[in-house]
Amino acid sequence: MKILLVVYHSMTGGTEQMARALAAGAATEDDVKTRLLHASEAQAEDVLDADGYVFATPENLAAISGLMKDFFDRCYYPALDRINGRPYAALICAGSDGQNAARQIDRIATGWRLRRVAESLIVCTHAQTPEKILSLKTISGADLERCKELGAALATGLVLGVF
């Protein structure tokens, strides 16, 4: 049984919807157990026990969220040189372009010597006013389907040993 760890943080619900859709897609593969953990709950042991990863974060001030950064701060050194070569992907719920948050995750993953197996999946909500930024998000069915497809592809790749 392979383990896909999905670590997420969500302030307004968008990123959580994306992470849950991805987990639903991964669940189509019987030989993969998907662990969906909030960033505040995920520990280094969870990282070490997993065969692959998805890091899901909102874009906050053109960066990953503070709680996602906290997850990486707590788990980075205990996992360093112990997870080399494992696959990862990223989900970003962005108000603008999400590229800097994706770059941050890629830089951290490079330090962990992980292997990116998919381009970051960025969903742009176009929330540009304080009211829209802070409001609850609803991710479109088409974007949730993209997340689900990515989850299925990651799970299948884990089982087949593609990554």
Which residues neighbour 141 within 8 Å (Cβ) at sequence distance 6 or greater? none
d(CA 68, CA 81): 20
Strand-pair category, 87-94 with 52-60:
parallel
Cβ-contact 116, 88 below 8 angstroms: yes
Per-residue pLDDT tens over the stretch 18-66: 999 999 999 999 999 999 999 999 999 999 999 999 999 999 999 999 9
Residues 6 or more apart in contact with residue 163 via CB below 8 angstroms = 52, 87, 115, 117, 157
The string of pLDDT tens digits covering residues 66-82 is: 999 999 999 999 999 99
Average pLDDT over residues 102-113: 98
Residues in Cβ contact with 65 at an 8 Å cutoff, skipping those fewer than 6 apart: 9, 11, 39, 57, 58
Whether this model's pTM surpasses 0.85: yes
Under 8 Å CB-to-CB from 80, ≥6 apart: which residues? Answer: 111, 112
pLDDT, residue 161, reads: 95
